[in-house]
Structure 1
Amino acid sequence: MRMKKNSLWIAFMMIFALTAILTGCSGSKDTSSGTNAGINEGASNASDSNTAGKDTANKLSGKVTFLTNRTDMIGKEYDDYVKRFNEKYPDITIEFEASQTDYNQQIKVRMASGELPDLMFIPDIPNSDLPKYFAPLDDLELSAEVTFKDFKSYDGKLYGITTGNSTSGIVYNKKAFADAGITELPKTWDEFLAACEKLKQNGVIPLSSNFKDKWPLGNWVYDLPRVIENNKNFPNERLNMEAPFSMDNGYGKAMSLLRTLAEKGYLEKDINSTNWEQSKKDVANGKMGMYFLGNWVINQVIGVGAESDNIGFFPLPFDNSGEIRAGLNPDFFYAVSKDSKNLEAAKAFLTWMLEDSGYEDFAGFISPLEGRESKLTQLAEFQATGVDLQEGMPDDPKVIEISNKAQIDLPAIAQEFVLAKDPQAVLDKWNKAWAKAKKDLGY
């Protein structure tokens, strides 16, 4: 009798196990084939996840200070961003600080004093210093991979995310070109100079350099040299050079192009008294014909009065070979202070800026997130020229270290080069500073 009870028990357990297995198989089949049962289950999970996300958002609070170089957005677009952000995070206060001076230098001063804002842009420091000041950002929940991820990473951790990406080229007023009789876009340097001359003869300042402000010269010395060399690692190869600045390499050639424009009177009448905000209006209304800047400036020109259809964008023809190349680069990199008192709130705002703000379209950037298409029609026009976009590479920490010790400021060197009676003497001066710094550091 005992044996019979055991047999019945075993039989019952086998039937129960078989039923469980069949039920599991049925559930798996429904989910993979997309039946209503599977979809409803996924919808239920998504609903739970959204509810959890809202609960998390509602719990976050605190004040986040963002030091920004976009002073033109304060009281305007930034106000709209805060309003929209607070719909999701009602208890987080966002405060904007305007950088009225050299942003890079301002951040370095605040690093030294230990008074960093919660959110900022990373200055030109070695990546090995990133953990000293900034919090890792690997835990941000983003919908896609970030671009140029290696640029601000150290020891396997991500510390900076690009605000957007840009390529450099000639942003121009189409009506100014047409009125000057320029019927085709220049494809060689000689054709470019001829276009400049036509603009000048028609009473238009050919190219706005904003020479005095220094930072707008960045494309001439950071981007163009490697494009001229057709070598994306050219800036890092300075590590193996005792004299990295010469007339016949990318640096000398790029600065010589700028000097030629100045000598021919194709820049502002007084290059030492330019005004950035006014220059945008002058390009918009056709008093100035062109910029050599990144695509980010296009929407700024449109924003001060230009019709979008009247602003074009084409690659700078830097020589007479007919080859069309341009650099593709990240812009400023967002970072969060590791000492922020509201670290999670700062990360939440950064995530929102990347995912939901639409800043890249407003700023005229290529999205910092992979796979997102730009809404900027001028970029499509630019790419239709068949331009070869050359991605930049992260700066070698040793190159940064040498540059800092030698006090190499490339836009400032370009200013000196253009104004000097003897530009070769300028290159000699900075080659000497480079060689000394390299030797002192044991490289």
Structure 2
Amino acid sequence: MKKWLKGTAAAGAAIVTIGALSACSGGAGDGTTEISFMMWGDGGDTQTAYEDVIAAFEEENPDISVNAEFFNTNDYDNILKTRLSGGAGPDVYGFDLGNIESFVADGFAADLSDGGESYLKKLTPEAAEDSQREGGTYNLPISLSGNGIIYNKALFEKAGITEEPTTYSELLEDAQKLSDSGTIPFAMSAQDNWWPQFIVYYPLAEHGANEELGAEMAAGEATFSDSKPWKESLDIVHELTPYYMPNPVGTSQTAAQSAFLAGQSAMFPATWILSDARDAGLDVGYMNFPTTDGPTDAIWGTYQVRFGVNPNNGDAKLAASQKFLDFFMQDDVYADFLGKVKLFPTTTTVQIGEDVDPLFPDMQQSWEGKQFIAAFSPTDPSIQDALLVGLQNVISGQKTTEQVLADLDLALDQYIANNK
């Protein structure tokens, strides 16, 4: 899924709910306004960080209660869309950028500038610009991260790797060294179709795909099949497949993540594992994910989580939701949250560094001078679905790069036809 987020898959629609069940009306019988909060989560540190904010908010605002639900990543998007479409959507929810066009068109996303001035003015210029989509401020970016590889130093040493690879050729050589030493190089699998995105987006950014290319595609001026960055990136996904988990299509993301945390796999291609890696007692390092043999000033960088607000549950809930976002972005609350999830701020008033994690200065230095690229094609769910299936097909060997690009072009053609 094209979610700039931390996610861990689990079998079934695992749900954790806190707070009282929300009523359909804006308030409860005792005069308390009840709002619902919906986010992806697996019961780990990130979910706990949200729950801590909610508990503090309720303590400071006894007239507002928050009913929070957390769903695993595989099911979250479908559940959110179903509820919003059925008129029972949450008041505050984690926002997938790929849904923003349809959510705005369908009236599922409130313009946060109406009542959210107090927290929106804190955003960095880049985050403020990113919040402006589809003609309004329909999402609030709450965490930022350049993406890269968290690696196990002990496993690198065991394989005789003394320096971090800085080119794609060196990465392939080191992956082979790891494999030869009995270590699974990448904690990557493809049973859960959203997970392989955490390979392909790196070469897409570094090989020249960007939002401008996406705009050209949307305008009918470019295709996937004619795109050199897209072809090269899918080829890299294929080339790295021997270094993924054994039987990658039959292995869940949960199993891949567990292999990394258990010291069986050396590289995890997402920075949000850092908190769990510390809890597991691993000695880890960070490096950018090299997919070229020459210099590049681009990197896949994302706003890991965005909030959206549902405008359809009444004025009282809308006002309470805005109050919750304002509380969330208060400097002390926000800094505490970011420290727990080990992500970087989107505001000018909070700084996160070595006090949160010793790797943070290295990460920031690695991203210095890099242009963060977050989107590589039209942000349409049907195109995204075609990509997710296509990545599984490339990894399983069922389709070639050219066949997957052709499938993506079919989805692109339909998107263009639907938007004429």
| TM-score category of the 2 structures, normalised to the smaller one | 0.7 to 0.9
Confirm or deny that 1:130 pairs with 2:112. no
- The letter for the 1-side match of 2:285 is G
Greater mean alpha carbon deviation, residues 184-193 or residues 92-101: 92-101
Deviation at 1:91, TM superposition (A): 3.0
CA separation in 2, counterparts of 1:82 and 1:433? 40
Aligned counterpart, 1:233: 212
- The root-mean-square deviation of aligned C-alpha atoms, in Å, is 3.0
Q: Aligned with 2:276: secondary structure?
A: helix
Q: Gaps (5+ residues) in structure 1?
A: 1-58
Q: 1:242 to 1:113 in 2, by over 3 A?
A: same
Structure 2 counterpart of 1:80: 52
Tell which has more relative contact order, 1 or 2 (C-alpha 8 A, sep 6+): 2
The aligned runs of 1:25-44 (5 Å cut-off) are none
Residues 359-404 of structure 1, C-alpha deviations (whole Å, 9 max, x = no match): 22322221121353223432321343475422336789xx34xx44
2:311 to 338, 341, 348: 338
More divergent stretch after superposition (265-274 vs 346-355): 346-355
**Stretch moving more, 78-87 or 325-334:** 78-87
Question: What is the Cα deviation at residue 193 of structure 1?
Answer: 0.8
Aligned residue for 1:158? 137
Count, aligned residues: 374
AA paired with 2:65?
T
- Structure 1 counterpart of 2:38: 67
- Measured after TM superposition, the shift of residue 208 of structure 1 is 1.0
Matches within 5 A, 1:301-380: 301-303=277-279, 305-307=280-282, 310-323=283-296, 325-341=298-314, 342-355=317-330, 356-357=333-334, 358-375=336-353, 376-380=357-361
Seen in structure 2, the aligned counterparts of structure 1 residues 234 and 154 have a Cα distance that, compared at 3 Å, is closer
Q: Quick check: 158-167 or 351-360, which moved more?
A: 351-360
For the pair shown, which has the larger CA radius of gyration, 1 or 2? Answer: 1
Instruction: Provide structure 2 residue ranges, at least 5 long, that are not aligned to the other structure.
Output: 1-29
Q: Distance in 2 between matches of 1:282 and 1:362?
A: 23
Partners of 1:121 and 1:438 lie apart in 2 by: 27
The letter of the residue matching 2:111 is P
Alpha-carbon separation, structure 2, partners of 1:83 and 1:416: 44
Matched residue SS, 1:186? coil
Say whether the 8 Å CA contact 1:187–1:322 is kept in structure 2: no
d(CA) in 2 for partners of 1:111 and 1:223? 32
- Give the superposition deviation at 1:212: 1.4
Preserved contact between residue 284 and residue 302 of structure 1 (Cα < 8 Å): no
Structure 2 contact 209–229 (Cα < 8 Å) conserved:
no
Alignment-mate amino acid for residue 354 of structure 1 = M
The residue identity in structure 2 corresponding to 1:279 is A
What's the CA shift string for 1:113-140, capped at 9, x where partnerless? Answer: 1210111022423447427112222223
* 1: CA distance, partners of 2:211 / 2:134: 23
| Aligned position for 2:388 | 411
Letter in 1 for 2:163: E
Cα distance, 1:172 vs structure 2 = 0.6
**Aligned partners of 2:205 and 2:213: how far apart in 1?**
5
**Cα distance in 1 for residues equivalent to 2:418 and 2:312:** 33
**Residues 235/156 of structure 1: CA separation in 2 closer, same or farther (3 Å cut):** closer
- 2:287·2:366 contact (CA, 8 Å) conserved in 1? yes
Name the % identity. Answer: 20
Q: Paired residue for 2:64?
A: 92
Give, in whole Å, the separation in 1 of the partners of 2:31 and 2:278.
Answer: 37
Opposite residue 233 of structure 1, the aligned amino acid is E
Whose helix fraction is larger, Structure 1's or Structure 2's?
A: 1
SS of residue paired to 2:243: coil
CA distance in structure 2 between the aligned counterparts of 1:253 and 1:222, rounded to whole angstroms: 11
How far apart, in 2, do the equivalents of 1:269 and 1:195 lie?
A: 18
The equivalent of 1:297 in structure 2 is 273
What letter corresponds to residue 301 of structure 1 in structure 2?
A
TM-score (norm 1): 0.75
Q: What do the CA deviations read for 1:11-61 (whole angstroms, capped 9, x no partner)?
A: xxxxxxxxxxxxxxxxxxxxxxxxxxxxxxxxxxxxxxxxxxxxxxxx994
| 2:246 corresponds to 1:272 | no
Structure 2 Cα separation of the partners of residues 116 and 182 of structure 1:
50
- Give the equivalent residue in structure 1 for 2:363: 382
Give distance in 1, aligned partners of 2:375 and 2:159. 41
Deviation at 1:213, TM superposition (A): 1.2
Shift in CA distance, 302/337, structure 1 to aligned 2, threshold 3 Å = same
- 2:182 counterpart SS class: coil
Q: Secondary structure at the match of 1:238?
A: helix
* Equivalence for 2:9: none
Deviation at 1:407, TM superposition (A): 6.8
| SS of aligned partner of 1:332 | strand
